[in-house]
Amino acid sequence: MAYNVLICDDEKDIVSALKIYLSSENYKTFEAYTGKEALRIIENNDIHLVLLDIMMPEMDGITTMLKIREKYNIPVILLTAKSEDTDKVLGLNLGADDYITKPFNPVEVIARVRSQLRRYMQLGGANVKPSTIVIGNIELDDRAKTVTVDGEPVNLTPKEFEILKLLMENPGQVFSPREIYRRVWNDNPFGSENTVAVHIRHLREKLEINPAEPRYLKVVWGQGYKMERSGG
């Protein structure tokens, strides 16, 4: 899994240096130069860890971190100068996971980032469902509400999208028509079999090369529908 790391510091040279360190270890980096910009990036992307400078204009690192903690439990590593010991302790008390003192040692930066990501994933961060799910040549982006097949966009109705999302999030698991209806329509599934069957048929027509012999959306006779893990 490739991890997304946000670097936030108002000094561009520091951001550039950290980007070089992290990119060499195949982390994908995002850059922000203000606290507000960092919050916007976190809101719109799947960020797994934040490197956050304490001393920034407009919104300092401590305030930014508190804003992050209102919604997210991702690791936050504070970037501090030696003179900022009081702020460092305050940051750790208020929810920061670690700190790195400037000037940076590249080996230490990588070690601390790796350690926090490992801890985060072990504590359940890996259980957060990704916004993008890929099975075979089908890609579903839940954040953008888009689906592509072989990179080409496919237009789905909202209900078709939700059915596909349910099945792709649980590959290999069989869902009865009643269960699909209950989850997608949030309604009593009485008489739901035909409605679900029609939506499955439409999905096959849009996603499968040969809808009559589907590779992905399979029927399990007498039980329901499932998404094959690899389109076998």
Overall number of domains in the chain: 2
DSSP string covering 88-119:
HHHHHHTT--EEEESSPPHHHHHHHHHHHHHH
Does residue 123 fall inside a structural domain? yes
Residues 98 and 187 in one domain: no
pLDDT tens-digit map of 60-117 = 899 999 999 888 889 999 998 877 677 777 878 888 889 898 888 889 999 999 999 9
Does residue 232 fall inside a structural domain? no
> Of 92, 127, 162, which one is at a domain's C-terminal end?
127
Q: How far apart are CA 138 and CA 23, in angstroms?
A: 28
Q: At what angle do helices 193-207 and 158-169 cross, to 10 degrees?
A: 80
Task: State the pTM of this model.
Answer: 0.55
For residue 118, how far is the Cα from the chain centroid? 16
Place of tokens 């976190």: 42
pLDDT tens-digit map of 46-72 = 899 999 999 888 888 999 999 998 888
> Of 72, 92, 127, which one is at a domain's C-terminal end?
127
